């Protein structure tokens, strides 16, 4: 049996008003358990604000060996020294993101509920593909809903990792892990957790340890 371990991929809140306070929260959260990556997803922020946020957060992620992935913008990700970029279907192609960011960067691509889009992303050199939304979410208005079976089929047939996103909480996480997700991308389930972000990271890790892929 292949050893398959699903890990946590944090997505920042869409808006960060107090960068200093968020930096403290993040430091505490990353100290509470294993996190593979943090995506800086500041919708509608200026380039200067994104630069400021990367400069403040990158020492925190580096200290914990957490990859800092910028949403939407390969150019800004390269310019600010992020470890990678996540692009949606309307943002940039994986191939152009790779050209801009170079061979060592991590490139992720939104594939909604489509294995076809995911195969195209894989062929274009993506490091991971993201499927979703799997559950209702108030973080983003979504038009695509995905069935967990897409994770199982991907896991059984492809090498590159798959990320599950959309409405993932402590309650919905087990279904994603059992279906074969390599990473759980979570925003509100972390930052709006009743006991705080650090407790959420700790509890997600407990669920990740206790739950296994059911597809082999």
Ligand X SMILES: Cc1ncsc1CCOP(=O)(O)O
Ligand Y SMILES: Cc1ncc(COP(=O)(O)OP(=O)(O)O)c(N)n1
Give the interface with ligand Y as residue ranges (CB under 6 A): 39, 41, 71-72, 86, 88, 91, 108, 110, 130, 140, 163, 165, 185
The string over 79-114, giving b where at least 16 C-beta atoms fall within 10 Å of a residue's C-beta and e elsewhere, is ebebbbbbbeeebbbbeebbebbeeebbbbbbbbeb
Chain positions 45 to 74 lying near Mg ion, rule: CB under 5 A, are: 72
Q: What is d(CA 79, CA 102) in angstroms, rounded to the nearest whole number?
A: 12
- Determine phi and psi for 164, rounding to 5 degrees: -105, 135
The nearer residue to ligand X, 131 or 213, going by C-beta atoms, is 131
72 is in an annotated binding site: yes
What residues are paired with 184 via a beta bridge? 8, 164
Chain positions 98 to 157 lying near ligand X, rule: CB under 6 A, are: 132-133, 137, 139-140, 142
The nearer residue to Mg ion, 91 or 113, going by C-beta atoms, is 91
Partner in contact with 137, chosen from ligand Y, ligand X, Mg ion, none, beta carbon below 5 to 8 Å by kind: ligand X
Q: How many residues does the chain have?
A: 216
25 is in an annotated binding site: no
Helix, strand, coil in percent for the chain, rounding step 5: 40, 15, 45
Q: Does 203 bind Mg ion (CB under 5 A)?
A: no
- Token readout for 136 is 């209702």
Which residues form the interface with Mg ion (CB under 5 A)? 72, 88, 91
Which residues form the interface with ligand X (CB under 6 A)? 11, 132-133, 137, 139-140, 142, 165-168, 186-189
């Amino acid at each position: 049996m292949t050893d398959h371990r699903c890990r946590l991929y944090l997505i920042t809140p869409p808006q960060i008003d107090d960068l200093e306070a968020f930096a403290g929260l993040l430091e505490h959260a990353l100290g509470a358990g294993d996190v593979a990556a943090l995506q800086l997803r500041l919708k509608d922020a200026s380039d200067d604000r994104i630069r400021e946020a990367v400069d403040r957060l990158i020492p925190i992620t580096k200290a914990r060996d957490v990859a800092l992935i910028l949403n939407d913008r390969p150019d800004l990700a390269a310019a600010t020294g992020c470890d990678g970029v996540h692009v949606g279907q309307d943002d940039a192609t994986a191939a152009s993101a790779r050209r801009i960011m170079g061979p060592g960067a991590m490139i992720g691509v939104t594939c909604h509920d489509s294995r076809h889009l995911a195969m195209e992303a894989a062929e274009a050199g993506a490091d991971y593909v993201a499927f979703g939304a799997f559950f209702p979410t108030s973080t983003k208005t979504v038009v695509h809903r995905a069935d967990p079976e897409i994770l199982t089929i991907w896991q059984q047939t492809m090498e590159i990792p798959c990320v599950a996103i959309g409405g993932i909480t402590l309650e919905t996480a087990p279904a994603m892990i059992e279906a074969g997700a390599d990473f759980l991308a979570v925003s509100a389930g972390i930052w709006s957790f009743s006991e705080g972000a650090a407790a959420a990271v700790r509890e997600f890790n407990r669920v990740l340890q206790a739950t296994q892929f059911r597809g082999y």
